[in-house]
A and B are shown apart, each in its own frame.
Chain A
């Protein structure tokens, strides 16, 4: 009884700790800039809607429209998530169900790239993208990031855990490789796919360094990366516009949260029971 109480209060404390910056952002976003000079009020103010309207409407002077940045982020996150899922599903399917030369080697290669963080290959990837004249486009935000060892690995495990007699039954029924993929493998994999979609969407949304390196044109700025510019723009006033910066930050947080909440049930099931 006592242990449980201890554990609960511990969890509560951690949750509060995590929520604190969010609360601070909410407070800053709901006050007038004058209220934020040198202090942070304890309670939220009443200017949240007003600030939201300002940010989404006019934006901050000297920086691209927040709405546009949100749109760019959405394109990038969706593109990366869908691209990763497509590639990973197809390669996992190939590795599990087709016998081709060096099949195992191919899988080990994919798997070993799991060890390499994205940043390690920034330089060569940048060179290649520049060589292909991809810089400053949606393509460069998405295409170089859509290979995923994690997703390939998880889906391979999923396909490998499906009973082999399912494939036998499909072959007896006259389903070819693509029909088995579309009619059986894909629908059966929808839980892990949903979970992976959430993970990869958040991953794509939170990309910072790569968009910063490859897009200099403000038309392609994403909101996470644009935040930096916003802070510069916001603090260049005599009265720093922390209210608007924080409103934008809150807006930037929303879509990943929304995706996670909407797919929560699938997400948890997909990560816990890989079986089916």
Chain B
């Protein structure tokens, strides 16, 4: 087990920049999730850590040692790929032991480690099969087995669950989390699925366009998104982002055609300027004395709760209400209240969070 440190690591493919200089520290034993939309550079960053891609600049340290010049196999890392990348012509047992054989470990030691991984992941009945004869979830498990038999300092996962169906994904997610509990190996996990990110991460790194937008625990990132991008990326459904303006005195925020909302932290420096107002779907509460009137366009029932798609002034937003039956119908108008502590303000141009 080891720490992982990135200092100003960047990557260019020809003229195109895939990753702007990025720094990140991962503590020993920590589970860090890189999350972001497709093409934001998550895989590129992970592959540079693995040594499969060489950085255009910066330094990568594992356990305090700079590994920039080291071959992937010398870095003592194991990686699980999105398409599993099992060796199709080898049996499950051979897949598990291949890396150990290449390292010329003693036969007894190889057997011990393979048996241990087989026990841990329940692969016993599959040992003689070829990857082509396994289901997606089984292949996934073998891929994890192949990673853990190496007893590496660092685990890398690149969207390991995205080829599985929803149920299996939930199941494997829990298995990965338990595996990390048991082994305590430092892990970097890439996903574009925010549920995976929120549930697995001890710390999550939200990326966008080759940059890190925010680093923090899932709770921090959810409660205090550092930018409008992060706010709009996390949560299902994500935070409502409304074009708004700070009042002339800097004490209220104004959304067109709606009543002003008082700010808990006045913004005198931004008085009269445009901002983006962020409201979580659960922050808008129906209330007969509410300050805003919204029009319901569409009602979606999720069983235990409802999503109300509503027009607020000229803009649209989503409300989430914990109720099983809706007293409203599409087309109704509704009064809602907004808690002043639930307001998130972002700079309209840069998208950066404004202190509140």
Residues on A lying within 8 angstroms of B by beta carbon are 163, 165-166, 168-175, 179, 183-184, 187-188, 276
Contact = CB atoms under 8 A, between A and B. Distances in A.
Nearest to B52: A168
B89 A184 contact: yes
A165 B81 contact: yes
B89 to A, nearest CB: 5
B42 to A, nearest CB: 15
A166 B51 CA distance: 15
Contact of A174 (B85, B99, B146): B99
B85 A169 contact: yes
B345 interface: no
Given A173-B102, A174-B102, A165 B73 contact: no
B198 interface: no
B83 interface: yes
Nearest to B100: A173
A169 B82 CA distance: 11
B187 to A, nearest CB: 15
Given A171-B52, A172-B77, A179 B102 contact: yes
Interface of B: 47, 50-52, 71-73, 77-79, 81-83, 85-89, 98-99, 102-103, 146, 150
A188 B73 contact: no
B89 A165 contact: no
Contacts of A172: 50, 52, 72-73, 77-79, 99
B87 to A, nearest CB: 6
Contacts of B102: 173-175, 179
B329 to A, nearest CB: 51
A174 B73 contact: yes
B99 A276 contact: no
A173, A175, A276: which has the most chain B beta carbons within 10 Å? A173
Contacts of A168: 47, 50, 52, 79, 81, 85
Nearest to A169: B85
B85 A166 contact: yes
Contacts of A184: 87, 89
Contacts of B85: 163, 165-166, 168-169
A33 to B, nearest CB: 55
Q: Which 9 residue pairs across A and B have the least CB separation, nearest first?
A: A174-B73, A173-B99, A165-B85, A169-B85, A174-B102, A187-B89, A165-B81, A171-B72, A172-B72
Nearest to A186: B89
Contacts of A187: 89
Contacts of B150: 173
Contacts of A174: 73, 99, 102-103
A168 B264 CA distance: 52
B87 A166 contact: yes
A98 to B, nearest CB: 16
A166 B83 CA distance: 9
A169, A179, A188: which has the most chain B beta carbons within 10 Å? A169
A243 to B, nearest CB: 50
A188 B88 contact: yes
Given A165-B81, A165-B83, A173 B89 contact: no
Nearest to A184: B87
A173 B86 CA distance: 11
A168 B51 CA distance: 10
Given A165-B85, A169-B87, A183-B87, 9 more contacts: A165-B82, A168-B79, A169-B146, A171-B51, A171-B52, A173-B150, A174-B102, A175-B98, A188-B88
A276 B89 CA distance: 10
B84 to A, nearest CB: 8
Contacts of A175: 73, 98, 102
A132 B79 CA distance: 53
Contacts of B87: 166, 169-170, 183-184
A170 B99 CA distance: 8
A276 B50 CA distance: 27
B98 A173 contact: yes
A179 B79 CA distance: 19
